[in-house]
Amino acid sequence: MRNYTQFYIDGQWTDPVAPARTAEVINPATEEVSGQISLGSSADVDKAVAAARRAFAGYSQTSVKERLDLLETIQAEYERRERELGEAITEEMGAPLSLGCGFHTLLGKGHLGTAIEVLKAFKFEEERGVTLIRKEPIGVCGLITPWNWPMNQTCVKIFPALATGCTMILKPPQLAPYSAQLLAEILHDSGVPAGVFNMIQGKGSEIGTALTTHEDVDMISFTGSEPVGVQIQKDAADTVKRVGLELGGKSAWIVLDDSDLGANVAAATAGMMGNSGQTCSAGSRLLVPSSRMDEVKAAAAEAANGVTVGDPTGNFAMGPVVSKSQYNIIQQYIEKGIEEGAELIAGGPGRPEGLDKGWYVKPTVFVGTNDMVIAREEIFGPVLVIIGYDDLDHAVEIANDSIFGLGGYVSGQDLETCREVSRKMRTGAIWVNGGFDFHAPFGGYKRSGNGREWGDYGFEEYLETKAVIGWNPA
C-alpha cells in the first residue's frame, strides 16, 4: 500500500493546511485499493503559489549554465529511478509493465534530454538594429496533467519551465498520482531550489480552479479534456493569464491504396490499441479505400483479435483502462456504435473472455460512417472506426470533418503523395509512415487546444518577449 499524504511545497514535504481529507487509489487491474493520497485545498494552493513567487525572484535570474547543471543532475537521478517510475505507472493506470517501464518512462527521459539540448543552443537575447529582444521567464506556472501518459504529460511541462527560469505548482491526476510523487522526490533529491517546484495532489475541480483563478499565477498549462479546457480559459480570463491547452482528438489515419494496404491497416489497428486506446492523438478513425473494404476488414479484424489482453504485470499487449468510470463510458460508446448500425468486426461489449475482474475492454473495431457518434466524439478507449473513401480528396475531406485537430497519420508507398495529403490535413501533428521526433512541436488545431509543446516550441510557452528599444545607438 502506498501512502502519499503530504504535499511538496517550498522545498519540503508538508502536511495539508486544512484537516486531512484522503482519497483511495484503485488498481485498475485488480479493482483493489493500492494506496491513498491527501486531497488539497485552496489554502494549500495559496501556500504553494506564495513559495513559487518568492523563489521566482532568484531562480529567474540564474544563468543558463546553472540551469543546465540542475537538469543534468535531474537526468542522472531520473535514470537511476526509471524502473521504479515505470512500476508505479503500471500500478496506477494499468499500462503493461513493458510499456510502463518502456515507452512511458522513455518519454519523460526524452523530454528531459530534449530540454537540455534546446537550452544549450537557445537564444534568450537577439539584437535587431537599435533594439534588443529578450526572452524572459513568464513567472509562476500552474501545471495540470492527466493520467493517460503520466510521465510524458508531466515532464513535457516541468522541464521546459525549469529550463527557462520559471517556478511552478504541479497538480497531478487524482487517478494516477504515484509516478508524480516519485518525480517530486527525484527533483528534491536533485537539489531543485526551494519553491521552484511545488506539488499538490487533489481534485481538479478544487486545485485546478484555485490555480487558474489565482492572481499570482502567470500561466496555466493544461492537458486534458475539451470541456475542462474551455472552463479553464473562462476561469483564467479575469486575471488575463496565459493558457496553454492540449485537449482532445479524433485523429484520422489515411491509408493509401497500394500493395502495402493490408500491412498498414494492421499496423494502424494495433497502434490504436496501444495504452488501451487512452491516447489523445490516437488514430481512432481509419480511412481506407472503399473499393478494398473486404481486404481492410480482414486485416483489421485479424490485428485486433491478435492483441492480447490481461494482467499488466504479465506478458500481455494491453492492460485495463484506468477506472470503472472510464470502462463504463467506453462500453456506452460501443453500445452506441451497435445502435447506430455500425458493422462490428472485432471485439464488442463487455470484458474479454476469462477476465471477470479489472477494467478490461475488448479491442474493438467498427466499420461505419463519419456522421456516427463513434466517429465524432473522443472515446478514449481501444475502439477503432473504419471509414471508406472514394479518392484522396474525399479522404482529406473526411479527415478534416471534425471539431478536433490534434493528430493525423498517412501511410503509403508513395512518399510524395503522403506529403501532399499531409499538407491538406487540418491538424497539429501528422506522422507519415511512422517516425518520431522529440523536437517536433505538438499541439492542436480547432478544439484540440492552443499553443505547442515539445522541443524549442515548448520553451516559447514559458517565455515573455521584451523589446528594449535604443539598446544600440541609431
The catalytic site residues sit at 246
Residue 137 Cα to chain centre, angstroms: 23
CA 86, 143, 39, 209 dihedral sign is negative
Q: How many CB atoms lie within 10 A of CB 353?
A: 8
* Beta-bridge partners for 117: none
**β 219-223/140-144 pair status:** parallel
- Give the Cα separation of 422 and 436 in Å (integer): 16
Grid cell locating 171:
497538480
Crossing angle of helices 150-164/82-93, nearest 10°?
130
SS (H, E, C) the chain: CEEECCEEECCEEECCCCCCCEEEEEECCCCEEEEEEECCCHHHHHHHHHHHHHHHHHHCCCCHHHHHHHHHHHHHHHHHCHHHHHHHHHHHHCCCHHHHHHHHHHHHHHHHHHHHHHHHHCCCEEEECCEEEEEEECCEEEEECCCCCHHHHHHHHHHHHHHHCCEEEEECCCCCCHHHHHHHHHHHHCCCCCCCEEECCCCHHHHHHHHHHCCCCCEEEEECCHHHHHHHHHHHHCCCCEEEEECCCCCEEEECCCCCHHHHHHHHHHHHHHHHHCCCCCCCEEEEEHHHHHHHHHHHHHHHHCCCECCCCCCCCECCCCCHHHHHHHHHHHHHHHHHCCEEEECCCCCCCCCCCCCCCCCEEEECCCCCHHHHCCCCCCEEEEEEECCHHHHHHHHHCCCEECEEEEECCCHHHHHHHHHHCCCCEEEECCCCCCCCCECCEECCEECCECHHHHHHCCEEEEEEECCCCC
- Give the Cα separation of 350 and 295 in Å (integer): 27
* Beta-bridge partners for 432: 410
- Give the Cα separation of 114 and 14 in Å (integer): 32
